[in-house]
Amino acid sequence: MQITLDVIGGKWKPVVLYNLQNKTMRFNELCRAIPAITQKMLTQQLREMEHDGLVKRKIYPEIPPRVEYSITSYGKTLNPILTSMTEWGKKHTQRR
């Protein structure tokens, strides 16, 4: 449990991974999808997840540079956990 929390724990990593589950997104798309996160925090979280092999960053040699983020096949192994967390959150909201 502790190792899993070390890798995906915190307020934002599960949200970012959830948004990347089914599509590749640019940095600004992620910012719009998660309006409460700051650009600095999103950058930090993406770097950590890239370091852990959960997220892939692709840079296109264009002007201006285009950067896209996607979930790796290793990151996709977290999909059942993210889906369970989402379902639990919906049930918890209904319980209130």
**Closest alpha carbon to 19 in 94, 96, 86:** 86
Please tell me the predicted confidence (pLDDT) of residue 68.
97
CB atoms within 10 A of CB 86: 13
Give the model confidence (pLDDT) of 83-93 as tens digits: 999 999 999 99
Please tell me the predicted confidence (pLDDT) of residue 96.
77
Task: Break the chain into its structural domains and give their ranges.
Answer: 12-85
C-alpha to C-alpha distance for 72 and 49, rounded to whole angstroms? 10
pLDDT at residue 65 above 90?
Answer: no
Q: Does domain 12-85 have CATH number 3.20.130.10?
A: no
Q: What is the token pair recorded at 4?
A: 């899993």
Give the model confidence (pLDDT) of 25-56 as tens digits: 999 999 999 999 999 999 999 999 999 999 99
For the CA atoms of the chain, what is the radius of gyration?
Answer: 14
